[in-house]
Amino acid sequence: MNQIIKYLLVAIISIALTILYLDQYAPIIVEVPEKTSQRMSIDFSKEIERRRVQKIEKKAKNVIVLIGDGMGINQVTAYKIAKGGPNYTTAFDKFPFSGLVKVHSFDNIITDSAASATALSSGVKTKNRYLGVDSNGDDVDLITEILLQKGFITGLVATSEITHATPAGFAIHNISRYNTDEIAKSMYESKNHILMGGGKDFFMPESEGGQREDEINLVDLIKNRDTYLDSKEALVSFDGKGSKRIFGLFAKEGLIRSEDEPSLLDMFKFTLDQSKMMAERNGCSGFFIMAEGSQIDWAGHENDFDYQYEEMDEFHDVVGHALEYVKSRDDTLLIVLSDHETGGLLIEMDELRRKPSNSMLLSWNTALEEGTHTGTMIPAFSYGPGAINFTGVIDNTDVFFSLKEAIGINELADKECKLND
């Protein structure tokens, strides 16, 4: 009898321990419904409630804008975790100011890079595909054009084609981002001092291996007027004295990370050094640089985080270098933000368990290998004079007006910054 009771007690204890274990560690069985979509009507008739810009006493002499194309909050978070875990400190974490930016275009909750770049550079909402024009197709004043009139050095850098939507949206005016022949010619005709990226094919005629249907050889025109760079070696060995404009075309289309091509960090460091030299040697007012990590977006379109991690890592290096630069002085404003999120990146539990997990599951919420932009707000990080105006929740058009206040554009007289031989 005692033996039976002993066996029963052992069985009861075993069952109790099993239940306790299952309660703590067993998979949670959930019924996952199929993904559903809901369509909602959007009212675009209400005008943007313009944020009141805080007056800035200490003005910025120089401005650096870094754009991670397609970089949403989840891209920043996933990069941080993949780089060194959830407690890893990235350059993004070191900014004293941060905010969220609304990015819808004039008539679509989902913006493209052209409309977003135009909003950032002009303070005007426009239609998708439009570059440097309003919703009626009329030219708008771009921040680079305004600063050129005030005697600033301006430089644009991208890992895409230099004719792509974001750099073009800071430089030219066109009703379609796909008019590449016109855009390339407008980029050549723009007065920006430094232009760097890919897209050589759009500056070369078809008869010479390019893609221009009008047969104009813009590369020859650039060589006759500017300093022309076409390789990493040419970039690294350049010893110019800030006396000529610089045009760099390092790939037929977008940069592909070959040994012959400079990285985004290479191009940014070069542009920063040359902009400082040009401004100082020619008595200019200051400098403005926009540099874009273009292919963070391309990786999102492909739903490929390995690719995106590489692009984020390169962009992060540029952010870190720029942050150290502005920390060493008190006259430069640094803004890091995106134009929109791409791919609907999700960070999920690797397994539905209640026990600790040392892995991260990443998935995409848009079509496989055809990832599209999403309408979520994007992060902004800022440091330097006027950084306070990029905090909280702002619209992408607010960026333009906050830049104007940070620089004190309305208080500056017109001035010509002429490069001296």
CATH code, 186: 3.40.720.10
419 in a structural domain: no
Q: What is the DSSP letter of 359?
A: -
* Total number of domains in the chain: 1
| Beta pairing class for 373-374 and 341-342 | antiparallel
The pLDDT score that the predictor gives to residue 291 is: 98
Q: How many residues does the chain have?
A: 421
- DSSP string over 162-223: TTSHHHHHTT--BS-TT-HHHHHHHHHHS--SEEEEE-GGGGSBGGGTS-BTT---HHHHHH
Query: By CB neighbour count within 10 A (0-12 exposed, 13-18 middle, 19+ buried), where does 155 fall?
Result: buried
Q: Are 346 and 76 in contact (CB under 8 A)?
A: no
The pLDDT score that the predictor gives to residue 42 is: 80
- Cβ atoms within 10 Å of 207's Cβ, excluding its own: 9
The pLDDT score that the predictor gives to residue 310 is: 97
- DSSP string over 398-416: HHHHHHHHHHTGGGPPPB-
pTM: 0.90
Separation between Cα atoms, residue 112 and residue 103, nearest integer Å: 9
Backbone angles phi, psi at 174, to 5 degrees: -160, 150
Q: Are 162 and 197 in contact (CB under 8 A)?
A: yes
Report the largest interatomic distance among the alpha carbons of the chain, rounded to a whole angstrom: 109
Q: Are 54 and 382 in contact (CB under 8 A)?
A: no
SS3 state at 137: coil
Q: How far is CA 41 from CA 44, 101, 329, 366, in A?
A: 10, 22, 48, 20
Separation between Cα atoms, residue 106 and residue 46, nearest integer Å: 11
8 in a structural domain: no
Q: How far is CA 153 from CA 149, 162, 173, 419, in A?
A: 10, 18, 20, 10
Q: How far is CA 225 from CA 188, 238, 243, in A?
A: 10, 17, 12
Q: Which residues of the chain have pLDDT under 50?
A: 17-33
SS3 state at 144: helix
Dihedral (C-alpha) 276, 281, 285, 291: value to the nearest 10 degrees? -30
342 in a structural domain: yes
160 in a structural domain: yes
Q: What is the DSSP letter of 104?
A: -
Numbers of helices and strands, H then E, in the chain: 12, 14
Q: Are 389 and 402 in contact (CB under 8 A)?
A: yes
The CA R_g of the chain, rounded to the nearest whole Å, is 25
**HSE-up of 360 (CA within 13 Å, CB side)?**
16
Query: By CB neighbour count within 10 A (0-12 exposed, 13-18 middle, 19+ buried), where does 320 fall?
Result: middle
Separation between Cα atoms, residue 149 and residue 170, nearest integer Å: 15
First to last CA, the chain: 109
84 in a structural domain: yes
421 in a structural domain: no
- Cβ atoms within 10 Å of 15's Cβ, excluding its own: 10
Read off the tokens for 156.
């644009």
208 in a structural domain: yes
Handedness of CA 166, 170, 172, 174 (dihedral sign): positive
246 in a structural domain: yes
User: Domain range holding 155?
Assistant: 66-411
Separation between Cα atoms, residue 143 and residue 272, nearest integer Å: 18
**Which of 248, 244, 187 minimizes the C-alpha distance to 212?**
187
